[in-house]
Amino acid sequence: MTDNISFDDFLKVDIRVGRVLRAEPFPEARKPAIKMWIDFGPELGERKTSAQITAHYTPESLQGRQVLAVTNFPPRQIGPFMSEVLVLGLADAGGEIVLLTPDKPVPDGERMH
């Protein structure tokens, strides 16, 4: 069981949709990962991140895809790369991450409601 949070706590988490502008392998990471540059629209602009999603995605398959991410965590250094957002995903039956994405196009930068 998880701890309950208030609705106000939930509102503090800024989850937005962005479009992957470019992606490339991240060979310096300890575990296989992909670096991504994501456009979160005019308010937030472009942010970068890395994710251990190589089981289901290639850099080429990510370009142009909309993804959901937490945009208000502090930046985090991952090896030589500064990650600015946390993309969201769920583990499949084998424990590999599948990205969360809207099932219909929405404006880049739209905040989750």
59-101 residue pLDDT tens:
999 999 999 999 999 999 998 999 999 999 999 999 999 999 9
69, part of any domain? yes
pTM of the model: 0.93
pLDDT of 70: 98
15-27 residue pLDDT tens:
999 999 999 999 9
Q: Could you tell me the residue range of the domain that residue 83 belongs to?
A: 13-99
pLDDT of 85: 98
39, part of any domain? yes
Q: Are 73 and 59 in contact (CB under 8 A)?
A: no
105, part of any domain? no
* Residue 37's CATH number: 2.40.50.140
Domain count, the chain: 1
At 2, the pLDDT band (50, 70, 90 cuts) reads confident
